[in-house]
Each structure stands twice: as structure tokens, then as C-alpha cells.
Structure 1
Amino acid sequence: MKKLLSILSFGVIAFSCQQQTAEETNAPSVSEESLKAHIHVLSSDDFQGRKPFTEGEIKTVNYLADQFKSYGLEPGNGDSYSQEVPMVELTAMPSETMTISGGSEDVVLNVLDDFVAYTERVVEETSLNASELVFAGYGVVAPEYGWNDYEGLDVKGKTVIVLVNDPGFASGDSTFFKGETMTYYGRWTYKFEEAARQGAAGCLIIHETVPAGYPWLVVRNSWSGASLYLDQSGENFQPDVLGWITRDAAIRIFEASGQDMKNYGEMSRSVDFKPFSLGLNATVTVKNKIKRDQSKNVIAKITGTERPDEYVIYSAHWDHLGIGQEIDGDSIYNGAHDNASGTATMLGIAEAMSKMKTKPKRTVVFLAVTAEEQGLLGSKHYAQNPIYPPSQTVANINMDGITAWGPMKDLTVVGYGQSELEDIAEDVAQTQGRYIIPDPDPGKGYFFRSDHFQFAKVGIPALYASGSYEHMTKGVDYIDSLNQIYLNTQYHRPQDEYDPSYWTFDGMALDGNLLMEVGLRVANSEDWPAWKDGSEFKSIRENSMK
């Protein structure tokens, strides 16, 4: 009974704090019923998994624009509620096998089971023809850390094999790179970019579940079949063939080279590591079906009353994976958590702000971006072709995967220590009776895996935060079990569906109210939240403001 009274008292305190916050900002609360309705629609089979270039995109874009209009929000791109994003769809059809020759006998890898291969070049066919294989450790060139995995190595026309994540991961040294916290050097996108800068013909990343942050099934689902890229005609700044191989496949390759490489991770973290040729050659072909089309970002705004030329941008990606490989009798990748939840929360905030008697002093923008699942393409296009200048954009608040498992005690900040926005968020969290924590699994590099990263890359301070660690009444273990179930059985699968048996919307509303309050405090302030010392984005912001 004492425990129950304590819980009830906590709830009253938290509720009264939420009410006080809402009164201070003249903002109604985010509606749980609206959140539920949006998720029910966006993650329905009728929306076909919301993949760009499909009927699901048309329905999603129209739905979002109609919602913004119904709230009375202004078009965010001149007189339009959308921004066109030119993209190209490449349907990769790799050969059934990749042959590794040059050893005592050929190593034959099977597509999907052992490797995935594709190309970002807009060509009908490309290949590796007996391309020399070179092991380049983590594939990192980081002058600020005194690290160069390509030092003394000429890989022009060759294929590099590299490890996932960066040298700091699992090193046990928090001062080595950033220890368990992934740097951008650990992202697969960086590794392909660096291989291209080195002139490599191919780049293959060795997949391992723990340092990658997701199982092989995610790799084979995400990098097989049709994929989307920004249509940047004439630019071929990528190797001919990109791909991933399993750890078992990598061991077979290294054994064929005459070396025992089961501890290649530890070896590659050594300051004495030197890249080397494996004395083997890779052969694989990738054919493409090519389709060019326009996708769309959806954008609306509330014009500021005093500083209309200064902007606070809320973002969430509306897309998911569409219709794909059948798993357990289902082929529609509904994406209820990823990211109907974030999109619904953004709509909930937009609706609540539209009802405010006193509008924000700065302009508040709501941006639903396309093709996050294909490499943050919608936000990348916006960052390269901004409607509102980055130098006049005060902050970005991104929503991706808002937990629908009840109210949380925590506010988990991904990329903790990056910007002053988290200090504002912490203050608001305290008014809700909550605490703030860093991402408990920084090694997975979540800061580089959602759309706020594209804003950060052009210097805009960005916040990516939500409750995801400790349930208000059911504790840490309850949420951890649900997180593990989601990651292992639902993430990037058709099983990511709205489940009324345990989904609730009070926690989503709590997060929505918090993020709304953060945005309003920024919008109504004269201050400009800054990147903190040590952030790799601080100098970009400072240079953009000169």
C-alpha cells in the first residue's frame, strides 16, 4: 500500500508539473487519441510500408499535408507543403556467388547467406573481376587521433575489406577515439566514402552483430533488392561495388590467405597495425534496374511573431521499407515504431502548437522527411538544399522511434554531451519528475543513424531524445525485455506493427509534451543554443555564423 501511495503521489506531482509547463507556454497537451489515430493510419497495411516511389508514399504525403492544413499551419516551402527530392531507385541483382580465388582452392560465398553486394553508381552493370583483396583494418583515416589504416597502401583498383565500428570500440580505453561511444569513423557510410577517396574498386565490411548494433538479417533485408539514392547525376564518388560479408565468410577468406585471423579486431586496434594484401582476388557482378523519380519531404510552419527569420525545425522521417521479403507469412513492413511513432508525435506537437493563443516568437517548422531508411536521404537533400538557411536555423529537434510502452522516468539523449539543447531538455524533464541519461549503448552509433545528423553536419545544434530506459512503475527490466524483443523480432521486419495488447500512448504524449516545451523555450528565447566544447560540429557552426 505504501508503494502504491508513493506511485500515486509521484503521478500527481508529475501531472501538476506538466500542467504548469503547459500553462507557462499557453500550449495544450499533445493528444493521446491523436497519436493513436495517426499511428493506426500510418502503420496500416493500406499504406504499404510507406516506401518512397510507391502508392504508400502518395498516401503518406497526402495524409501529412492534409493534417498540417487541418491544423491551420502555413505551407513550409513557399505556397507548397512539400519539397521535391530527386532520387534514383537502383534494384541490385548481384550474382548468386562471389568467388575468392588465389588460394589452394576457391572460396565460394553465397548471396544473402554470406554476402550482400550492390552499387551506388547509376549503371546497368558493374563488377569486380579478380580484384585484389586488401585488409585495411577499420578503414579509418583520422588525423586528429593520429590514425591512418591506409598508410603506405595503394588500393587503387583493388577491393578493401574493413571492420565495422571504430578502433575505440571494445578497447577498454575511454580515451582511445571515444571508447565505447562510436565516432563517425565507425559508420558504414564513412567507410565507403573513405574507400572511394583512396580509389578502391570495391569495399566489403565485415559484419558482427554487437559492434554493428543489428543482426545480419537487417543487413540482408536493407541491402538487397531496390534501394534509393539521391539523384546526383554525373557524380560517381563511390567504389564500383559495395557490400557486406559475414564474420564466418571473413574467417574463411583469411584462412584461404594462410592466416589465422579470428582475432583480427584486437590486432586492428594496435598502433602497430599495418594494412596488407591477402594475396587473394574477388569476383562478383552486380546488375541494376534503374528508375528515376521524385520523392517528397513534407513541410509546414508557424511563422514567428517577433523573429520570423529565425527557425526551430522539428523533424521525423515518414518512410519505412515498403513491401519486401516475406517473414512469418507477412511481407508488409509497416514500421509502426520505426517511424510512424515519431511522425505521429510530430503531428501531435504541430496540432497542439496550432491551438496556442500566443504564437512562438521564432518560426517553428515541421519537416517530415523521406528516405531515412535508405541513408538519411530526405534530410540530406534538405541540408544540401535548405529552404531556411542553416545560419538562421537555431535548432533541430528530431523524433525517431518514440516508445509506446508507457510513461518513462528517463529521458535518454543520444549523442549526450554534444549541445546545450540537452540542458534545456534536462530542465524540462525535471518539471515532469524525470531524469536525463546518456544513451546506454553509445557503441551502436545511433547519433549518426537518424536525420538530426544531417542537420548537425551543416552546424545546426540537434537534439535526439526520448524515454526508453526505465518505465515509471514497471522499471528497467520491463523496458529492457521489450527493447530486446523489438530488436530481435520486429526491427526492420513486417512484425513492427501497432499492437493494441500492450501499446499505450501516455508515454508518447509525455515525450511529445517535453519536446514541444523544449522547442517553445528555444523559439521564445533570444539565445542560440550552441554545440559544447569537444563536439566535432562546433567549428562548423562557428564558421557558418561568420
Structure 2
Amino acid sequence: MLLPRLLPASLLLGLTTLAACQSQTATTTSAAPTAAADLTPEAQATTPAEAISAATIGRYLQAVSSDEMLGRKPFTTGEERSTQYLADEFKRLGLQPGPEGSYFQPVPLVEITGTPAPTLQIKGKGPALSFQYKTDFVSFTQREQPQVSVSNSPLVFAGYGVVAPEYGWDDYRGLDVKGKTVVVLVNDPGNAGQDTTLFKGKAMTYYGRWTYKYEEAARHGAAGVLIVHDTKPAAYPWSVVLSGAISPKLRAQTTNKGADKCALEGWLTLDAAKKLFQAAGQSYEQLYAAANTKGFRPRPLGGLTLSGSIRNQLRRQTSRNVQAVLPGTTRPGEYIIYSAHWDHFGVGKAIAGDSIYNGAVDDGTGLAALLSIAEAFQKAPQKPERSIVFLAVTAEEQGLLGSAYYAQHPPYPLNKTVADLNMDMLWPYGQMKDLTVIGYGQSELEDYARAAAREQDRYILPDQQPETGMFYRSDHFNFAHVGVPSLYASGGFEGRTRGKDYIAQQRQNYTTNMYHKPADQFDPSWDLSGIAQDAQLYFRVGQRLAAETTFPQWRAGSEFKGARDKSMGGR
């Protein structure tokens, strides 16, 4: 694909005209505020509508998702261009750099480009199995070594690979997996609706995340761990696993160079797993049923062993988060963070003649909202009393690495951080009636969101697919993990003019045909007024938080409340 010059003036003018035509003013309601988080008339009056509009969103969105950004992949020219663009925009808007005097926070990472052996060899008493790379399995490693291998590693089935004392669950109970390869199911017990009394029922817990399963297997000393892919509980097709696995993988640099990780991590297709279980004298259906039963005991897989290897190329380099701050007028030492991730997948395998993975929706939309909100705060006649931090993080697509680094090396104290308001994948399908809150029930930030939604004549909706574990799949999770109350919400269920079915069709089309593919690129026909609507709502939530002296709390029973209580004890 030819790379055009970045946003010529004529193109910007045309985009602005188009987006302005799409823009609609959110309907307001005269319903009386009922919560402490309701917006004051003063806050409402300081909302410069022209700063957050479809036109503004479109200008920023087309810039960050243009071909010249080369898919915004860390360690590439695309990173240099996109992060410099963001820093330049923050500077243009008059925002100050971070506490070290820079708009960039260095994030040391290692890029591991692994080339697995073409096959995984499975041996036992019967005929040997030979699983083919990409067709039957994918594998990778976090060990920073030129080559890793497992040889004749005994295979064991450990259910979901979960150790959760609070649920009375231990899939590794009585099982010694040192030197062995563990096979586990995707997601967590109960999520598929077999027994809604297990864990949180259909709502995925952190134990359902694939990253957790690798960590738990490593804690038990396993040589390898393979997750069985099943599209429904995984919430994404095999093509998504494949696209993420065959590209170079970024990891956080560690002092032991990944020596405490499993030598081999990966996925099996469901068909390959069924063949494996059959060779062990068992069926997938039997093992699945057993794994979803209280009292499950792990078991060897019929004397089967696995052999496989990976050759690695290593590249250590520093990526960067982009940060800027608007200092508060009266309490500059207290911070509200707006976050979005700047990275995507760069230039990769061509699909339909296009090799640039632009990431327009994922997460160009979040970046466009981030910049629009920054512009709105600068244009507001009344500046915020608390400081507002605008943070674009790296390597979200590689495992939330940039936000994890920020959370472990915070430029601003966590116990002085009021909240994180995260934006990821906003939908370009027009204004919405709903505001869907991912992880609903976690914190008082939902009260602030409800008040802002009421002003737009919208209703709050809990996540309609909690089994997909979206609360653990974007950058707000790393803030929640260290105790900072976090909000991750957007409209995406019921369109204001086209209803629910249209939105469902558009989202399904995106998931099937665009998600993590070159097709996720800017489309001039998109109706960006809904993204502007969400950005306006987030802006108003931030205004309210900035005007208060209190801190929003996690709700009783939230797994993140303990970390916050501990952090705030040192204030």
C-alpha cells in the first residue's frame, strides 16, 4: 500500500466538513440529579461543545490511524511517528510534560521473535500425533534464550489451570507438574453457563485470563502450558490467536530474563485437543464436564508426552508511554488520569492486498477521544482544581505492558490518584441510548457515569457479555490492580436512531472481519457522533471529580478494595 502524506490540508477540510454533518447534539433531560456525583450547572456550563465534536474526533482519528503511522507498532518507525504526534499535540494544546520534564515515560521491553518447530510431537502407547504449527497449535516463550525446548514432557490435564482459595478451587491439587506440560481450558469454571454458582457465573474472573493461566503453570514449575481454544468461551476466533502469536512478542524486561516462566506457552485448536484427549483414552466432553465440577482432580493424559522447540531472536529496546498534565488550580497534587493505548500491530501479513494494521477503532478512537478531551479542558473557561493527566500507553496489544509499567513506576503517587478513566474501542456507529459499563458494580465511579449519562438522556447498562472478561483486557485493569478506581465504559448496545439490532450487526461484523486486521481502518462513512458523545460524557465525569475534595471508593466486595485501602493508609 502506498503511504500518503500525513493529512494534507484539503483532506482535513473534507473530513471536517463530513464529520460536522454527522455531528448531533446529545439530547439532554430535565430529570433531577439524585446522586452525589450529579453534575452542577457550573460544570455543565463550562463544556465547550465545539471542542468535543464529530469533527474534532474525525480529525484526530484520521491522523492516528493513517497509513503513515504504519500501524503504530512498538519498536518501529510507526512508534516514533505516532508517539511524536501525540507529544506534539499535547504540547500544541499547552499541556505540560511529565514530572521528569518529558512527554515520554520510557518502558523497557524485550522483543522475542520466535520460530517454533513445524510440529509438536505427541507420543504414547498408540500411534504418534504430529500437530502442525498454525493449523493445530501456536507456541511462544517468555524466556530470553536463543532456543527453548521440551523433550518427552509428560502431558497432564489441569482443568482450567486455576488456584482460587476464595472459591475453594485448586486445579493443581495433588499434582506435581515439574517438567511436565499442562493442558488447560480457556476462561474459568462457570462462565459457559454450566453452573452459575461457580466463581461469578457467566462473568469471567481474572482466573479466566490466558495470561493468568501461564503465570499459574509457571508458579507450579511446569515446563509447558497449552490452552485449548474454543471460540465461544474465548470470545474470539482462532484467527485472533494466530495473528497475535505469529508476530514478534513484546515482554517486560526482567532481571532473570524470564527464567521463572514456562519454556513453552501456547494454544491448541479445539480439534487438535480432541485428538489429543482421544489418544489419551478420554473425550473432550468428559474432561470438560469434569473440569466444571466442584472437587475436580487433575489427571495425567494416558502416558502421552510432548516434544517441541522454539528458536528465538531477541531485541531489547525501550518503548514509551506518552504523558501530559494540566495542573490543577487548587489541588495540583491530586490526579485524574485519562488513558488510552496508542499501539496496534504495525505492518504484517497482507489481507486483501493491505498489510497495514491501522487500528482505527482499536484504539485510534480512544486516542481521538483522549486528545479531544484534553482540548476541551484547555478551552473550558474554568480550569480544573485537580490535575488532569493524559496518558497514551504502549504495548496494550502485547499484554497491557505499558499501563502495567506505569502502575509499577507511577510518575504521580497512586494514593494521590483519584481515578483512571480509560477509553478503548469506541464505536463509530452514531449516538447511543446506553452507556455500557464494563465490570459494573465495582466502584462509585459508576455513580458519576450515571449522572453524566442522565444528562445525555442515556441509561446505564452492565456489560452484556461478562463472560468475555473485558474488564481484564484493557489498560484500566492495571490501575484497578494497584487499587486506583477505574472506569471503562462506552455506548455500544442500543443506537439512538437505529436501535439494538443494527448495533449488534455492526459489532459482529467488526469482530469477524476487522478486529486485529488491516480492515480496521478509517472509513469516511462512519458516524462519529457517538464517539463524541462518549468523550463528552468522560469529560463531564472528569470535571466533577476535579471539583471535589473526596475520592471515589471501590464498592464493598470488590477484589480491588484491599489494595486501595492499603495504599490510602499511607496518605
Identify the residue that residue 253 of structure 1 maps to in structure 2.
276
Query: What is the distance in 1 between the residues matched to 2:559 and 2:119?
Result: 41
Query: What is the distance in 2 between the residues matched to 1:179 and 1:425?
Result: 26
| 1:337-486 → structure 2 map (5 Å cutoff) | 337-486=361-510
Query: What is the distance in 1 between the residues matched to 2:245 and 2:401?
Result: 15
Query: What is the distance in 1 between the residues matched to 2:566 and 2:196?
Result: 29
Tell me which of 231, 243, 260 is aligned to 1:209: 231
Single out whichever of 383-392 and 165-174 deviates more from structure 2: 165-174
Residues 379-414 of structure 1, C-alpha deviations (whole Å, 9 max, x = no match): 001011000111110100000001111000000000
Query: What is the distance in 2 between the residues matched to 1:474 and 1:146?
Result: 46
Match of 1:48, SS state, is: helix
Identify the residue that residue 157 of structure 2 maps to in structure 1.
135
Q: Once the 2 structures are TM-superposed, how far is the Cα of residue 150 of structure 1 from its aligned partner?
A: 0.4
Q: Once the 2 structures are TM-superposed, how far is the Cα of residue 264 of structure 1 from its aligned partner?
A: 2.5
Match of 2:559, SS state, is: coil
Tell me which of 536, 541, 547 is aligned to 1:518: 541
Identify the residue that residue 122 of structure 2 maps to in structure 1.
100
Matched, 1:529 2:552: yes
Tell me which of 62, 67, 77 is aligned to 2:99: 77
Query: What is the distance in 1 between the residues matched to 2:98 and 2:410?
Result: 11
Single out whichever of 517-526 and 167-176 deviates more from structure 2: 167-176
Matched, 1:147 2:169: yes
Query: What is the distance in 1 between the residues matched to 2:211 and 2:419?
Result: 25
Tell me which of 156, 175, 179 is aligned to 1:157: 179
Match of 2:343, SS state, is: coil
Single out whichever of 436-445 and 40-49 deviates more from structure 2: 40-49
Tell me which of 33, 37, 42 is aligned to 2:55: 33
Q: Determine what percentage of the aligned residue pairs are the same residue.
A: 51
Cα 1:23–1:147 shift into 2, 3 Å:
closer
Query: What is the distance in 2 between the residues matched to 1:16 and 1:317?
Result: 36
| 1:41-80 → structure 2 map (5 Å cutoff) | 41-80=63-102
Residues 147-172 of structure 1, C-alpha deviations (whole Å, 9 max, x = no match): 00000000011100000000011234
Identify the residue that residue 192 of structure 2 maps to in structure 1.
170
Are the equivalent residues in 1 in contact too, given 2:160–2:185 (CA < 8 A)?
Answer: yes
Query: What is the distance in 1 between the residues matched to 2:559 and 2:516?
Result: 30
Are the equivalent residues in 2 in contact too, given 1:25–1:520 (CA < 8 A)?
Answer: no
Identify the residue that residue 9 of structure 2 maps to in structure 1.
none
Q: Once the 2 structures are TM-superposed, how far is the Cα of residue 127 of structure 1 from its aligned partner?
A: 0.7
Are the equivalent residues in 2 in contact too, given 1:124–1:290 (CA < 8 A)?
Answer: yes
Identify the residue that residue 35 of structure 2 maps to in structure 1.
none
Cα 1:38–1:11 shift into 2, 3 Å:
closer
Match of 2:392, SS state, is: strand
Are the equivalent residues in 2 in contact too, given 1:25–1:517 (CA < 8 A)?
Answer: no
* Structure 1 unaligned residues grouped into runs of 5+: 1-9
Identify the residue that residue 119 of structure 1 maps to in structure 2.
141
Tell me which of 208, 212, 218 is aligned to 2:240: 218
Are the equivalent residues in 2 in contact too, given 1:138–1:165 (CA < 8 A)?
Answer: yes
Are the equivalent residues in 1 in contact too, given 2:194–2:292 (CA < 8 A)?
Answer: no
Match of 2:397, SS state, is: coil
TM-score (norm 1): 0.96
Match of 1:104, SS state, is: coil
TM-score (norm 2): 0.92
Query: What is the distance in 2 between the residues matched to 1:85 and 1:296?
Result: 5
Are the equivalent residues in 2 in contact too, given 1:168–1:176 (CA < 8 A)?
Answer: yes
| 1:292-371 → structure 2 map (5 Å cutoff) | 292-371=316-395
Query: What is the distance in 1 between the residues matched to 2:146 and 2:514?
Result: 34
**1:165 corresponds to which letter in structure 2?**
N
Cα 1:544–1:25 shift into 2, 3 Å:
farther
Q: Once the 2 structures are TM-superposed, how far is the Cα of residue 27 of structure 1 from its aligned partner?
A: 2.9
Query: What is the distance in 2 between the residues matched to 1:386 and 1:11?
Result: 37
Match of 2:384, SS state, is: coil
Are the equivalent residues in 1 in contact too, given 2:43–2:543 (CA < 8 A)?
Answer: no
Match of 2:108, SS state, is: strand
Identify the residue that residue 505 of structure 1 maps to in structure 2.
528
Are the equivalent residues in 1 in contact too, given 2:150–2:264 (CA < 8 A)?
Answer: yes
Aligned residues: 536
Query: What is the distance in 1 between the residues matched to 2:311 and 2:41?
Result: 56
**1:304 corresponds to which letter in structure 2?**
G
Query: What is the distance in 1 between the residues matched to 2:82 and 2:247?
Result: 22
**2:220 corresponds to which letter in structure 1?**
Q
Are the equivalent residues in 1 in contact too, given 2:144–2:257 (CA < 8 A)?
Answer: no
Q: Once the 2 structures are TM-superposed, how far is the Cα of residue 232 of structure 1 from its aligned partner?
A: 1.6
Residues 32-71 of structure 1, C-alpha deviations (whole Å, 9 max, x = no match): 2221011111111111100000010010011001111111
Tell me which of 195, 198, 217 is aligned to 1:195: 217
**2:315 corresponds to which letter in structure 1?**
K
Cα 1:485–1:506 shift into 2, 3 Å:
same
Cα 1:323–1:13 shift into 2, 3 Å:
closer
Match of 2:112, SS state, is: strand
Query: What is the distance in 2 between the residues matched to 1:235 and 1:177?
Result: 34
Query: What is the distance in 2 between the residues matched to 1:36 and 1:466?
Result: 17
Matched, 1:24 2:24: no
Q: Once the 2 structures are TM-superposed, how far is the Cα of residue 78 of structure 1 from its aligned partner?
A: 2.6
* Structure 2 unaligned residues grouped into runs of 5+: 1-23, 32-37
Are the equivalent residues in 1 in contact too, given 2:443–2:553 (CA < 8 A)?
Answer: yes
